[in-house]
Amino acid sequence: MTLGVRGKLFGLSLLLIVMAGVASGLFVEKEVRAVMEARIEGELFRFAKLSAESIAAASEDVPLQHLVEQLAAAGEMRLTIIGDSGEVLADSLMTAEQRAQADNHMSRREVLAAFESGHGRARRWSTTVGTEMLYAGVRFEGGGALRVARVAMTLDETNAFVWRFHALLIVAAGLGLLVAIFMSGVASHLTSRTVNRLVEHAKALARGDVQQIEVETKDEFGRLAKTFNQIAETLQRTARKKAKEKDRFAGVLEGMSDAVIALSAKGRIKVVNRRALELLGLEPSCVGQSLLEATRIPALHQLAQRDSGGETQLEFELASGRRVLASATPLHMSAGTVIVLRDVTEMRHLETIRKDFVANVSHELRTPVSVIRANAETLLGGALEHETKGPQFVQAILRSSERLSTLIADLLDLSRIEAGKYHLEIQSVEVDEAIRHAVEAISSTAQSRRVSHDLSRSAQLHVMADPMALEQVLLNILDNAVKYTKDGGQVQVRAMEHRSGVRFEVEDDGPGIPPQHRMRIFERFYRLDPGRSRELGGTGLGLSIVKHLVESMGGTVGVEPASPHGSVFWFVLPRDPEAQLRLSA
């Protein structure tokens, strides 16, 4: 059973009233009885003494019984005269027969005490009268013998008084009860209003509605309200701190270059950063989905499912072509997993370039060196004397050493261009003339392939370039195109305006370059088909030099597939803005 504040207050005041009533009732009754009995006792003794004196003084003629009856009637008391052997000599309430039959009164305490010390008193249930009586005995000399005059009085009066007192007490208690009900009502109303206010405030706090409460009093409720305010303040501080922490966490997470996905224990996505959304092509609504639902990447699913204690890693390629290194770290407290994806596409690409470069450069250098060595050994072995074979071996040595020196010259050029030490004299160059020059130069080596130019869209165009470098770029590209085109193939050079520059295009109808090679073809020593291209000569650095020269002249370079097959190598160089003005002037 639960009692409200009102019920408890009422119960408490009721208990207080009852306890006070009972305690005071008992105490007062005892006091009143004592006082009244003392007074009655005094009266009894006085009357006993008076009776004793009257009887002692009375003449012998008057019958004792008569005298006793008269005295008792006057004093409104019971009077008994007892002889020294305990016999009842006279009693105001007893007849002669009763007196004769009455038991020895020496056994009565008040009588015995009176015979011994002159006074005696007792309080006892009287069998004769059938009520509680107070007795007092006084010894006196009468008729030559010691006697005791005993008076008795009922306590009815005292009892009645006490009962009246009790009735008064009950009435007072009733009144007190009414007052208690009223007072407890008022008190509990006041209290519960304050408490309810505090409860409402606490509820608001629980909802997160943080606000200060007015402190009205300095009592416990006031202190409670103050405490609530402190709690509200602490809550606000904690909330602010949390918000700051969350903000910081979000900042770190969003600023990361790695993709982060946090999974719950049930494998649901809890947190995902922007990089993860980009890398995996996810929508922010993926939060709450399982990893499989959101990404459907078997490798990633496998990684998240792997149930090992520590961190596990897996590298795989995404549909977008990006290579990612994914690692899963289990969270101990929430039993979830954090998956971090690092985009290693560039890193792996650079690794491959470096590895290929080392392998290729050593191959390119070793081949001519071993040819020179083998031929030299053969010559020393006796071929030197041979009329026809001898010069052939020397020829081979010469060819290989030329190849080596070209290779070294190219490598040196390349490193100079890269280091920015290659001296370029940027000036206005007429596009048509540069193209014509290059085509003429290549035509002698083109054999059956037809190298043509289409200058219909490049009339009067000028670019800002180093003329030697531009010619080298065109020759390198043309040389490649001619080499990879079959007999009877076509190579066409053209140029056109392209935004603020001029776009040069060299199109061939060769076998074309599949997409996976297009990005890498400008790398040093990169070859599409190593066997075939070495057989065609060349150092494997031609396109690399093209790329670096074009870029150091502020241009861009690339390759596209041609239709129906073949390739279009293109580069764009900045146009000479003043050429037009000079022409019109």
CB of 352 to another protein, least distance (A): 15
For residue 516, state whether it binds another protein (rule: CB under 8 A): yes
| Contacting range for another protein; rule: CB under 8 A; set: 114-122, 128-136, 450-458, 504-512 | 504-512
For residue 4, state whether it binds another protein (rule: CB under 8 A): no
Q: Please name the residue ranges forming H helices in 208-310.
A: 220-255, 274-280, 291-295, 298-305
Residue 262 CB partners (closer than 8 Å, separation 6+): 269, 270, 271, 272, 331, 336, 337, 338, 339
Among 7, 63, 298, 530, which residue interacts with another protein (rule: CB under 8 A)?
Answer: 298
Residue 334 CB partners (closer than 8 Å, separation 6+): 264, 265
Residue 3 CB partners (closer than 8 Å, separation 6+): 11
Adjacent-strand bridge partners of 275: none
CB of 471 to another protein, least distance (A): 29
Q: Which is nearer to another protein, 229 or 290 (CB)?
A: 290
Among 289, 327, 345, 428, which residue interacts with another protein (rule: CB under 8 A)?
Answer: 289
Among 2, 285, 308, 448, which residue interacts with another protein (rule: CB under 8 A)?
Answer: 285
Distance, in Å, from the CA atom of 337 to the CA atom of 47, rounded to the nearest integer, reads 109
| Contacting range for another protein; rule: CB under 8 A; set: 270-278, 293-301, 362-370, 467-475 | 293-301
Peptide bond into 564 cis (omega under 30): yes
CB 154 within 8 A of CB 131: yes
For residue 562, state whether it binds another protein (rule: CB under 8 A): yes
Q: Which is nearer to another protein, 242 or 296 (CB)?
A: 296
| Contacting range for another protein; rule: CB under 8 A; set: 62-70, 294-302, 390-398, 551-559 | 294-302
| Contacting range for another protein; rule: CB under 8 A; set: 33-41, 291-299, 455-463, 536-544 | 291-299
Q: Which is nearer to another protein, 475 or 528 (CB)?
A: 528
For residue 301, state whether it binds another protein (rule: CB under 8 A): yes
For residue 319, state whether it binds another protein (rule: CB under 8 A): yes
Among 116, 220, 293, 433, which residue interacts with another protein (rule: CB under 8 A)?
Answer: 293
- Look at phi and psi of residue 114 and say left if phi exceeds 0, alpha if psi is from -120 to 50, else beta: alpha
For residue 510, state whether it binds another protein (rule: CB under 8 A): yes
Residues that contact another protein, how many (by CB under 8 A): 25
Q: Which is nearer to another protein, 99 or 517 (CB)?
A: 517
For residue 536, state whether it binds another protein (rule: CB under 8 A): no
Q: What is the DSSP string of 91-152?
A: ETT--HHHHHHSPPGGGSHHHHHHHHHSEEEEEEEETTTTEEEEEEEEEEEETTEEEEEEEE
CB of 7 to another protein, least distance (A): 48
Among 120, 512, 538, 540, which residue interacts with another protein (rule: CB under 8 A)?
Answer: 512
Q: Which is nearer to another protein, 146 or 314 (CB)?
A: 314
CB of 518 to another protein, least distance (A): 10
Among 366, 532, 565, 582, which residue interacts with another protein (rule: CB under 8 A)?
Answer: 565
φ, ψ of residue 80 to 5 degrees: the values are -130, 135
User: Two tokens at 384?
Assistant: 């030197």
Give per-residue burial for 439-465: e unless 16+ CB within 10 Å, then b.
Answer: beebbeebeebebebebeebeebbbbb
- The bridge status of strand 490-498 relative to strand 450-454 is parallel
Q: 577 to each of 51, 162, 500, 574, how far by Cα in Å?
A: 160, 132, 9, 9
Footprint on residues 385-404 left by another protein (CB under 8 A)? none
Q: Where do contacts with another protein occur on this chain (CB under 8 A)?
A: 285, 289-290, 292-298, 301, 319, 510-516, 561-566
